[in-house]
Chains A and B, each alone.
Chain A
């Protein structure tokens, strides 16, 4: 549906040439919720902006529905843009227009008839749950409400692609979750292809099906969100995932633990099997769970446990080997 083919973006800085995006190729399928994650300055936002040519790539091509749009300009480009919705971190609503007029704006641009506009604005505001604010001005809305207006506006021309530029980064935690749930619901309901960028893995985890990890203008890892969480390869991905899972042990526990400290990751259906009790029975060791959680990513369970295994050396060794066969990955932290 969207193909980014070897795209690079260069900026002429005061001192030197800055390459914000460096030879990125991605392919987004119809109906994907594709996340792009990375630290700030990684070039995610610049990359996202090449898709509707808010940022022209210096090299490479952007292909939408097998049509190369990279060289489009004028009316052709505007027609393409009308079919690509976009929401922004800072909402970017027109302050002097009411909620109604903000949502109607893209349709007026596209020259839709007045009656159709009025009907669709009502539908969209109901979809985002903001019908009661229809004649309010943006300054009277909370951050979450502003983003709801932003989402309704982005969907106005019934786009097939929705670009989300850090949609929840300016919001508090609770509102973030509400907005992400709304986006997820919209994806389920409309089947729209979405591209979402965020600096937080937890946002990606909540809504995305696929993810690309960016660092310094390059995609360092790409894949299914579940797999990326279960076995991150690149060091940046590992630290992002670890940060999201938040399984840090306090120093006191790390220092005083006897026996082996092991981090075990369970995938899919295995997360629901009684692996630990089997091991205790089999090898006569003690297993203490120091930390752990089961995450559900795209409705599949992913279990991460930090275990303290005590007992004789042979039993501990056998237990670790056993865990390796029964779980997705085992990492010995110490011992």
Chain B
């Protein structure tokens, strides 16, 4: 009977799985790009670097902290008007991706800043001494030198997004986490809950293993 019930939910599982992938995919792709730019800006505007600008540095740092200290559930609701404008709806995985992206951008930006700070200042100085422009320094020094750290940051961000995407279910985002709450939690179906949790564990593990492998292969230190 239990097995049969689980089997009857198979289409729901597939749908939820697909929704999770949509949310993860959209928000991850967007937040990696925007987060990298923001993190780079934050890093390069710091003291002694090529875009030194204390005002820009402090303002962007403050804004990031404001967004990061807002609980995600609240951010989700606060961003509903923006979501409506951008996607024309507030329901579904694409709509949920808006707030996920905003949260992930600031999250990844801090990770980018941290891994850029790990790059040997002496190497940046050497590139400057040889007459490299800021863009050449970014492309030829910062990106390759910080690459393992940047990849690890993507891994951490992606895994956080898996967690956040479950919350996005509350406003109708759907996904595996949403399934766990609706069927497993509200309907007391421990078996459904278990299956979804196992699926989430597998997703997280796969992301971690792939991320670690890429980071390790790129690490020449």
Contacts and interface: CB of A to CB of B under 8 A. Distances in A.
Interface of A: 52, 54, 75, 77-82, 84, 86, 88, 90, 92-97, 105-106, 108-110, 137-139, 153, 156-157, 163
A97 B123 CA distance: 12
Contacts of A81: 128-131
Interface residues of B, number: 21
A163 B145 CA distance: 25
Interface string B117-135: 0001011011111111100
A97 B144 contact: yes
Interface in B192-221: 218, 220-221
Given A78-B132, A94-B144, A109-B132, A88 B126 contact: yes
A90 B123 CA distance: 9
Nearest to A90: B122
B147 interface: yes
A86 B145 CA distance: 20
Given A92-B125, A94-B141, A108-B140, A86 B220 contact: no
B136 interface: yes
Given A96-B144, A137-B220, A109 B131 contact: yes
B125 A82 contact: no
Nearest to B128: A54
A96 to B, nearest CB: 4
Contact of B220 (A54, A77, A95, A163): A95
B126 A86 contact: yes
Contact of A94 (B131, B133, B145): B145
Contact of A92 (B120, B132, B133, B220): B120
A106 B133 CA distance: 11
24 contacts: A52-B129, A54-B128, A54-B129, A78-B131, A81-B128, A84-B129, A88-B125, A92-B122, A92-B125, A92-B126, A93-B126, A94-B140, A94-B144, A95-B123, A95-B220, A95-B221, A97-B144, A105-B127, A105-B130, A106-B130, A108-B140, A109-B132, A109-B136, A138-B220
Contacts of B122: 88, 90, 92
A86 B141 contact: no
Interface string B178-198: 000000000000000000000
A309 to B, nearest CB: 54
B90 to A, nearest CB: 44
Contacts of A157: 130
Given A96-B220, A139-B220, 19 more contacts: A54-B129, A75-B133, A77-B131, A78-B132, A79-B131, A81-B129, A88-B122, A88-B125, A88-B126, A90-B120, A92-B123, A94-B140, A94-B145, A95-B220, A106-B131, A109-B130, A110-B131, A138-B220, A157-B130
A94 B127 CA distance: 9
Instruction: With a 10 A CB-CB cut-off, give which of B125, B126, B130, B141 has the most chain A CB atoms.
Output: B130
Contacts of B221: 95, 139
Instruction: With a 10 A CB-CB cut-off, give which of A92, A93, A95, A96 has the most chain B CB atoms.
Output: A96
Contacts of B125: 54, 88, 92
Contacts of B132: 78, 109
A73 to B, nearest CB: 11
A96 B132 CA distance: 17
A311 to B, nearest CB: 61
Instruction: With a 10 A CB-CB cut-off, give which of A78, A139, A163 has the most chain B CB atoms.
Output: A78
Contacts of B123: 92-95
B145 A82 contact: no
Nearest to A107: B130
A112 B160 CA distance: 44
A139 B130 CA distance: 22
A93 to B, nearest CB: 7
B54 to A, nearest CB: 13
Interface in B142-175: 144-145, 147
Given A94-B123, A109-B136, A82 B220 contact: no
Contacts of A137: 220
A75 B132 CA distance: 9
Contacts of A153: 130
A277 to B, nearest CB: 55
A78 B133 contact: yes
Contacts of A105: 127, 130, 140
Nearest to B132: A109
Contacts of B141: 94
A86 to B, nearest CB: 4
A95 B129 contact: no
Contacts of A54: 125, 128-129
A182 B221 CA distance: 27
A52 B127 CA distance: 12
Contacts of A90: 120, 122
